[in-house]
Structure 1
Amino acid sequence: MSRRGLLGIAGAGLVALGASAATGYAVGRPAAEPAPASRSYPITGAHQTGISTPAQDRLHFATFDLLTEDRDDVVELLRTWTAAADRMMRGLPAGELGPSSGPYDAPPDDTGETEDLDASHLTITFGFGPSFFEGADGAARFGLDGRKPALLADLPHFPADALEDARCGGDIAVQACADDPQVAVHAIRNLARLAFGTASVRWSQLGYGRTSTTSTSQSTPRNLFGFKDGTANIKAEEPAALEDHVWVQPEDSASDPGAAWLAGGSYLVARRIRMTIETWDRSSLREQETITGRTKGSGAPLSGGDEHTEPDFTVTGRGDVPLIDPASHVALAHPSANGGARMLRRGYNYTDGSDGLGRLDAGLFFLCYVRDPATQYIPLQNTLARDDLLSEYLRHTGSGLWAVPPGLPAGSTTGGTDGAYVGQTLFEA
């Protein structure tokens, strides 16, 4: 096991960040040879990276609560974070001096654990929650009266939710994805360091083994139940689908004036879903496939074909019983059962050790991006929580919704008072 493979066991530095556990990264792997600089993404573009970008294998997700009510402090934090994210996504230290230079009697401006590593396809994605715009008393924060999108509201309590307050919400969400877990953790660690005095970590989650494919160049992964997941996910190579289902459009502000600044952005839904692993593992293969609606081996729908064959819910078998159970996950989650609504999923497996009864605290850290959470996510989750056969094996323990601003204009520079920053369209439009 490499030193970075041990990160999930050691959990070094994560206690201070309030991470629940790091065992999700306890996966051995040989040390990789240095990769070329091309393993990096630019921070500029019409949309933030980390959404339709090909999904990496590792995740460190964190939410922050602001400790200030001063608008200038928030803008300065966003400027600082954007400049640091720009550098780290290019494989550079978070600060210009780096971890081993600068004043000897002052803390370094980078923590140093990625000094010998490349960018590892790091993407850092930022989003603003409902509490970013309004306090508990409903009063606007940071002079953002009339700037909160109507669609940006706390998700409702769905049937059978077992939410833990310590795993819900947050003023700002930051999603760091990379091919190397140490690179993803380094990103969140340094953003938390730079936020000292202005924002603090509310909760965080480590993820491994992506559970969706966001590019046709990627094979379909498996979730911890052993089934292929995300077969029909929206792909980066589907620009029309992205426009229809993921990116907020300028015309959306006609019905939601508060969302005018969000054109080119999206809405991020996060759900921490614990799986009752031990109960599932004692279920028969027949039952597992009936509940899922797909074969466990190939991932093909039970109506026939291969993994990518469109399910046929009209095909029946013995006694005219549908081959795909109408209450199976595939049947209820299919766009045809949800008014054609689709979403871009970007979830990860997680394993946070065991509970006091020796059961794995493991499951799916569900992430999805949608243009309209009120029509694309909330009705679907209500249906799944109420009718899905799979829901018996799931328990939702964490939740949140954030508005994800658009990307930075091409050619933008970051840093200083003149640099572009994430959220600029919100504060300066």
Structure 2
Amino acid sequence: MSEPTGNGRRMSRRSLFGLGAAGAAVAGAGAVGARALLDEPPVAHAAATSDPYPFYGEHQAGIVTPAQDRLHFVAFDVTTGDRAELIDLLQEWTAAAARLTQGKEAGSFGAVGGDPAAAPDDTGEALGLPASGLTLTVGFGPSLFDERFGLAARRPAALADLPKFPGERLVPEISGGDLCVQACAHDPQVAVHAIRNLARIGFGRVSVRWSQLGFGRTSSTSRAQATPRNLMGFKDGTNNLKLEDAGLLREQLWASAGDGAAWMAGGTYLVTRKIRMTIETWDRTSLTEQEQIFGRDKGEGAPLGAKREFDPLDFAARGPDGQPYIAPDAHVRLAHPSSHGNAHLLRRGYNYVDGSDGLGRLDAGLFFIAYQRDPRKQFVPVQMRLAREDPLNEYIQHVSSGLFACPPGVRDASDYWGRTLFTP
């Protein structure tokens, strides 16, 4: 969430092993100080994409952190029924995550420093690579709050199961999960390395339920970032919640003790949706129809009838023919906060391409990620209206869904992910 601490950059894996400076030091997304959350004017800093983000803080990193370029998201099923083993796992994961996000190996002996006759405590594929802005964010699914661990009474009301939306065709095998970990980084190998090592540490206590790789972020979470494009070629997330929106973040993103689950104070709720696009059909659709469906022009990203991307959306504006520039069923109108009681989402989704389906069609689309204070009041009403009225539905299909409660951040080395849940 904030700029790297200390008098200089944290030592990278490459420098730790005497292999020289990190290769890619391209100026990347600006990191903004924690003062943004205290209503002080944010100050953007040019951070190299090799730099680390702090792991400890009031909130988990990887939420309002300026969105990185790559994603490896994984959902786990907990295979142990022992509450103490689950807590031990979360403590071990937290310790490993604190190291990994700072450009270190997962364990103190690393990939090559331990007993040669024993398995290493790091898999080694990230040796020589810098931290690359890695963030690791954990969440707890509704299924974790069953009878196994004595957590049923502590399930937040906001973690209510999502309703069935019209038209969705969810695949159970790639939906849900007891736990999730979101790894974001500027280097895909760093993100994959982190997930691989957490899965290795969890062996015998968790199993991977499903995972998703993503590239090319489809949202900006800081005003220091340019708006990216989705695989339909349109700028995505222009009006997204941003790191700098301190007041809106308190109102729309972060849970508070007064919401009914005190252990979630400082946390947030995550919804994931894998949305497959029928790319080939979309690519044969006229530019005019594409723009009318979205309600924005494809080049600049401006609202129809306006000139610039960040011009206000004027739903009353009409063209020379007397018709609204932005159609009543345009995506931007249906999803706009004004249509849903001022409900905002903080989106940080990614494009994906998972090969082809065997019929010459790309298996590609959007891995949608949205954080919010209460999905019942934010994601659910927005998605219900989109599912019923959005003409974009002709070109997309929701195939996977996930819902997770993301606890508050880790305070220091004595703390761990989910401590407030297990130690009231």
TM-score when normalising by structure 2 = 0.88
8 Å contact kept, 1:348–1:364: yes
Equivalent residue in structure 2 for 1:64, among 57, 76, 99 = 76
Instruction: Quote the residue 2:198 is aligned against.
Output: 191
Structure 1 range deviating more: 145-154 or 220-229: 145-154
Residue 282 of structure 2 aligns with which residue? 280
Deviation at 1:38, TM superposition (A): 7.3
Alpha-carbon distance between aligned partners in 2 of 1:319 and 1:355, rounded to the nearest angstrom: 43
Displaced runs of 4+ in structure 1, greater than 3 A? 34-38
Indicate the percent of aligned positions where both proteins have the same amino acid. 59
Equivalent of residue 33 in structure 1, options 16, 23, 27:
23
C-alpha change, 1:164 and 1:101, in structure 2 (3 Å) is same
Output the CA distance in 2 between the equivalents of 1:43 and 1:304. 41
Instruction: State the distance in 1 between where 2:150 and 2:387 align.
Output: 38
- String of CA shifts for 1:238-261, please: whole Å, max 9, x gaps: 1111101100012212xxxxx110
Alpha-carbon distance between aligned partners in 2 of 1:34 and 1:271, rounded to the nearest angstrom: 32
Residue pair 1:303, 1:313 contacting (<8 A) in 2 also: no
**Residue ranges of structure 1 left out of the alignment (5+ in a row):** 1-30, 135-139, 254-258, 414-418
The answer on whether the counterparts of 2:160 and 2:376 sit within 8 Å (CA) in structure 1 is: no
Give me the whole-angstrom Cα distance separating, in 1, the residues matched to 2:404 and 2:23.
37
CA offsets, 1:362-411, max 9 Å, x none? 000000000010010101101001101111111000001000000012xx
SS at match of 1:374: coil
State the secondary structure of the residue aligned to 2:153: coil
Q: How far 1:318 sits from its partner (Å)?
A: 3.5
Counterpart Cα distance in 1 of 2:148 and 2:262: 18
Are positions 1:224 and 2:227 aligned together?
no
Match of 1:114 in 2: 126
1:346 paired with 2:348, answer yes
Q: Do 1:214 and 1:346's aligned partners in 2 also have CA atoms closer than 8 Å?
A: yes
**1:310 offset after TM fit, Å?**
1.1
CA-to-aligned-CA distance 1:137-196 (integer Å, 9 cap, x gap): xxx331224111112122111111011111100000100000000000001000000000
| Aligned counterpart in structure 1 of residue 219 of structure 2, from 182, 202, 212 | 212
- Which of 100, 103, 111 is residue 112 of structure 2 equivalent to? 100
- Residue 168 of structure 1: aligned partner: 175
Separation in 2, partners of 1:67, 1:116: 34
Q: Is the 8 A contact 1:45 1:408 kept in 2?
A: yes
2:161 equivalent in structure 1 = 154
Query: CA contact under 8 A between 1:34 and 1:117: conserved in structure 2?
Result: no
- Over residues 111-140 of structure 1, what are the superposed CA-to-partner deviations in whole Å (9 max), with x where a residue is unaligned? 001110010000000000000111xxxxx3
- For 1:358 and 1:386, the matched residues in 2 are separated by 30
Residue from 335, 357, 369 that aligns with 2:371: 369
- Whichever residue aligns with residue 51 of structure 1, its letter is I
Q: Is the Cα contact below 8 Å between 2:305 and 2:319 reproduced in 1?
A: no
Structure 1 distance, partners of 2:270, 2:49, is 29
Counterpart residue number, 1:294: 296
The count of aligned residue pairs is 382
- Specify the alignment match of 1:19 in structure 2: none
Q: Distance in 2 between matches of 1:288 and 1:401?
A: 30
Match of 2:417 among 416, 422, 429: 422
Give the counterpart letter for 2:361 in structure 1: R
**What is the one-letter code of the residue matched to 2:393?**
S
Query: 2:148 is matched with which residue: 122, 131, 141?
Result: 141
Q: Give distance in 1, aligned partners of 2:208 and 2:279.
A: 29
1:90 to 77, 80, 102: 102
TM-score, length of structure 1 as denominator length: 0.87
Q: How does 1:309-388 map to 2 (within 5 A)?
A: 309-388=311-390
Give 3-state SS (helix, strand or coil) of 2:401's partner: strand
Task: Show structure 2 runs of 5+ residues with no match.
Answer: 1-20, 26-47
Within 2, Cα distance between the matches of 1:41 and 1:308?
Answer: 29
Return the match for 2:207 from 186, 196, 200: 200
